Amino acid sequence: MTDSRQAISDLRERMGRSIIGQDAVVERLLLTLLCDGNVLVEGLPGLAKTRAVKSLAHNLESEFSRIQFTPDLLPSDITGSEMYLGEDAEERFIFQPGPVFANIVLADEVNRAPAKVQAALLEAMEERQVTVAGQTHKLMPMFMVMATQNPIEQEGTYPLPEAQMDRFLMHVFITYPDDDAEKSVIRLVRGESNAEKSTSDAGEVSPIAQSAVFEARDEIARVAIPEPMEDYIVSLVAATRRPAEFSDDLARYIQVGVSPRGSIALDKVSRAHAWLHGRNSVTADDIRAVINDCIRHRIILSYEAQADGITTDDVITLLVKQVAVA
């Protein structure tokens, strides 16, 4: 095992100790980080979405910031703004960086802010820079946004348009833990509460260095993806664009298929998944393991699918059954 793989494995283990019953979410956060992407996490309140990204930032050598999206938020509250220093100052204006200038950014309830604010964040995600008063400011080399959405309480929200959703590498659903995990969560929080009263930070384990992430990315870039696996990815995406060629049900349920960003995401994330599990070559199992998170937000369902109660995940399950591995 390489040093970088061991470091990422240690990071995953540390996060798993504080995020009980959400192993899939922990893995998806790490995959997003390793692929230099951004992730949208959707789940009910209280399911450790914020705790997960805080655990990642705490255990990784990084700068963390949290933005609570609200209807009165302004783009400058995210990107930063020019501050006037006065007539006597050598420079009358100086740029005051906003919370987006961090390594790991939590965009909490991203659908509660209007479109102009969402666009400011998504521009930073896509371009890795912000432009204020005609000046361009680069973001940090290691940069990841975890945005969250609440699937209920849609009153007073501004849903992300499909074109903006497409910019997230993955869209992850987080669900309730099982009963045993729930009991462990209760015990963990109780233990943390007692520990805060009785111990200090002495002896705390050092965070994983950022260099391990960059080394891991270099190794992932060298993970092989055989041509039959490339054909498999292309076929899966093609089935969402030309569903009638594969299945009558797919043709009824899919209105708009996956964009080329979806193909790129499947390629990137499947290679990272293979690397994370100790393999140097992508298999069909790697692709199937990540396909839901990579394309569920890139498929637009028809009215017929919505009327029949068919979800995007149902369509993806049917898609995987219909498309054969070359």
- Whether the pLDDT of residue 130 is over 70: the answer is yes
Assigned domain for 211 exists: no
Instruction: Identify whether 133 is part of a domain.
Output: yes
CB within 8 Å of 216: residues ≥ 6 apart: 4, 5, 7, 8, 34, 275
Q: Is 215 domain-assigned?
A: no
In the predicted structure, residue 66 carries a pLDDT above the cut 90: yes
pLDDT at 61 over 80: yes
Q: Do the domain assignments include residue 41?
A: yes
Report the percent of the chain where pLDDT is more than 70: 94
* Residue 53 burial (10 A CB sphere; 0-12, 13-18, 19+): buried
d(CA 167, CA 176): 27
CA dihedral (113, 116, 120, 123) positive or negative = positive
157 and 230 in a single domain? The answer is no
Domain count, the chain: 2
**Distance of alpha carbon 166 from alpha carbon 297, whole angstroms:** 7
Q: Which domain, by its residues, includes 110?
A: 3-187
Considering the domain architecture, whether residues 164 and 44 belong to the same structural domain is answered as yes
What's the mean per-residue pLDDT of the chain?
Answer: 88
Strand pairing report for 93-97 and 135-138: unpaired
The CA distance from 169 to 40, in Å, is: 8
Whose structure tokens read 């956060």?
Answer: 29
283/270 Cα distance (integer angstroms): 8
Of 125, 160, 187, the domain-final residue:
187
Mean pLDDT of 142-166: 81
pLDDT at 152 over 80: no
Check: CB of residue 85 under 8 Å from CB of residue 45. Answer: no
In a domain, 73, yes or no: yes
Cα separation, 55 vs 184, whole angstroms: 17
Match 């995940």 to its residue by tokens: 313
- Position 155 scores a pLDDT of 66
Tokens encoding 75: 């783009």
* pLDDT digits 0-9 by tens, 223-282: 999 999 999 999 999 999 999 998 889 999 999 999 999 999 999 999 999 999 999 999
pLDDT digits (tens, 9 = 90+) for 303-317: 999 999 999 999 999
Q: What tens digit of pLDDT does each residue of 192-223 get?
A: 767 665 554 445 678 999 999 999 999 999 99
pLDDT at 136: 87
Predicted pLDDT of residue 135: 84
**227 and 272 housed in the same domain:** yes
* Selection from 291, 174, 293, 308 nearest residue 254 by Cα: 308
What's residue 221's pLDDT? 95
Residue 197: inside a domain, yes or no? no
> Among residues 187, 210, 240, which one ends one of the domains?
187
Is 145 part of a structural domain of the chain? yes
C-alpha 186: how far from chain center: 27
Q: What is the CATH number of the domain that holds 278?
A: 1.10.8.80
Question: Is residue 51 domain-shared with residue 143, that is, in the same domain?
Answer: yes
- Domain shared by 237 and 104, yes or no: no
284 within 8 A of 232, measured Cβ to Cβ: yes
The predicted pLDDT at position 184 comes to 84
CATH classification at residue 25: 3.40.50.300
Cβ–Cβ < 8 Å for 148, 277: no
Whether 46 and 167 share a structural domain: yes
Whether residue 181 sits in one domain with residue 52? yes
In the chain, which residue ranges form alpha helices assigned H by DSSP? 3-18, 23-34, 49-59, 76-79, 115-127, 162-165, 179-198, 210-221, 227-241, 248-253, 260-276, 284-295, 303-307, 312-322
- 55 and 114 in a single domain? The answer is yes
26 and 166 share one domain: yes
pLDDT tens per residue across span 88-106: 777 777 888 999 999 999 9
Query: What pLDDT digit, counting tens, does each position of 34-48 carry?
Result: 999 999 998 887 777
Q: Please tell me whether residues 44 and 158 are part of one structural domain.
A: yes
Q: Is residue 148 domain-shared with residue 251, that is, in the same domain? A: no
Mean pLDDT along residues 167-181: 87
What residues pair up with 82 in beta bridges, in sequence order? Answer: 95
Largest CA distance in the chain: 73
Q: Which residues contact 158 (CB under 8 A, 6 or more apart)?
A: 111, 112, 113, 114, 115, 118
Show which of 187, 215, 246 is a domain's final residue. 187
Asked if residue 45 and residue 181 are part of one domain, the reply reads yes
Rounded CA separation 59/255 (Å): 42
